[in-house]
Structure 1
Amino acid sequence: MPRITAGAGLLTALGAALLLASAAPAASAAPATTGKAPSEPSTELQKVEVDPALAGTTGALTYALKPAKELRLDPWANSGADVFDNGVSVEPDQGLRPVQSSALTGPLSAGGGPKDLAGVGPLLGVLPG
């Protein structure tokens, strides 16, 4: 525990006395009242500046959302253990085109993020970042 010496205590007391002495003339120099009642506080609201608030919010969202949009969803992408590196194809009868799952799993298997997904990517393009 630090010890306070007599010199440090004296210096602290002297500083407090000077602070009080300098505040006293400021209090006595207050303007004299003219006998009028003080004005009522204003009830009007200040004009709200929307543009700077929106600019700040958009800038913050850009830095917050960009990493989330580019996040690699498949940690085993481009490796032998990748579970998305396969596909299923269904060929319906009556001349319809085959349906393949590789259109959905391909971007994940290549190491892509949410922005590379078929249904989600265009929706994420609307967000900043």
Structure 2
Amino acid sequence: MSRTTTGAGALAALGAAMLLSGVTAQTAQAAEDRLADLPMPTTHLQNTDPTQAVGGTTAALGYAVAPLKGLRLDPWANSSADVLNNGVAVQPDNGMAPVASSALTGPLSGGGGAKDLPLAGSLLGVLPG
């Protein structure tokens, strides 16, 4: 951009700001004059029924949480690029059963969501939806 173009743009922006500030002040004064003649509103709020308020909130929460519980967490699930498809197993020397990571990564590499995880799935079962 040349200096002339930049200067002309700055001058146009300054002129627009000056015009808008004048219009805004006139509009605000006119609105204040019209509102001065109106009576002050009197409002009486009704009592809120807590059972209906809580019932509506929990019903809406179920619709909001249900898609999140089933959301696919591994974008590469069931593909050749899935890094969670590889498992690691360790066989202890003392004759214990092998410990493998596939129990944790299996539900994710199969395309599951948070509700399919071993521990988190049971905890998410408490939420509605």
Shift of 1:53: 0.8
CA distance in 2, matches of 1:79, 1:48: 52
> Which residue of the partner structure matches residue 125 of structure 1?
125
> Which residue of the partner structure matches residue 40 of structure 1?
none
Q: 1:58-95 CA distances to partner (integer Å, 9 max, x unpaired)?
A: 11101110111010001111110111111000011112
The TM-score, its normalising length taken from structure 1, stands at 0.62
Percent identity of equivalent pairs: 65
Which of the two has higher C-alpha Rg?
1
> Which residue of the partner structure matches residue 68 of structure 1?
68
CA distance in 2, matches of 1:97, 1:49: 57
The TM-score, its normalising length taken from structure 2, stands at 0.62
Shift of 1:48: 4.4
User: Which protein is richer in helix relative to its size?
Assistant: 2
Amino acid at match of 1:61: L
Amino acid at match of 1:117: L
Q: Does 1:116 align with 2:116?
A: yes
CA distance in 1, matches of 2:108, 2:122: 16
Runs of 5+ in structure 1 lacking a partner? 1-45
> Which residue of the partner structure matches residue 107 of structure 2?
107
